[in-house]
Amino acid sequence: MDGYVKIARKDQLKSSSGVSVNVEGEEVAVFQIDGDILAVRNTCPHQHFQLLHQGELDGHAVTCPMHGWKFDLQTGRGIANSGNLRTYAVKVIGDDVWVERPEE
């Protein structure tokens, strides 16, 4: 599928938690929340740690485990902090999860 990379089968993603996936050299955090699959760049804009996939979830928001910056995973916007995350489009086709190529 043009513009997308297959990253996992849907059953490999745990509910209400995140994983880090290397997508063509870019670390992408992928979350399954209430049946939605959301993908963002796994690099916190604060001090650039790549640990957002381990962050605590609150609905569709994740809190960076390093210093507590919080982001809306649907929009990438920071919540009460200035930085934003790049979001990636996700498609589920059959059992496969595809993420938008980072350079697109």
List contacts with ligand FES (CB under 6 A): 44, 46-47, 49, 64, 66-69
Q: CB nearer to ligand FES: give 19 or 92.
A: 19
Q: Measure the CA–CA gap between 50 and 41, rounded to whole angstroms.
A: 9
Q: CB nearer to ligand FES: give 57 or 66.
A: 66
Q: Rounded to the nearest whole angstrom, what is the least distance from the CB of residue 78 to ligand FES in the complex?
A: 10
Q: In the sheet that 96-100 helps form, which strands lie side by side, from edge to edge?
A: 4-9, 96-100, 90-93
Q: Which residue in this structure is represented by tokens 């995350």? A: 85
Q: Measure the CA–CA gap between 52 and 78, rounded to whole angstroms.
A: 13
Q: Rounded to the nearest whole angstrom, what is the least distance from the CB of residue 67 to ligand FES in the complex?
A: 3
**8 A C-beta contact, residue 62 and residue 18:** yes
Q: Rounded to the nearest whole angstrom, what is the least distance from the CB of residue 96 to ligand FES in the complex?
A: 30
Q: Measure the CA–CA gap between 100 and 15, rounded to whole angstroms.
A: 21
Q: CB nearer to ligand FES: give 10 or 63.
A: 63
Q: Rounded to the nearest whole angstrom, what is the least distance from the CB of residue 29 to ligand FES in the complex?
A: 12
Q: CB nearer to ligand FES: give 50 or 96.
A: 50
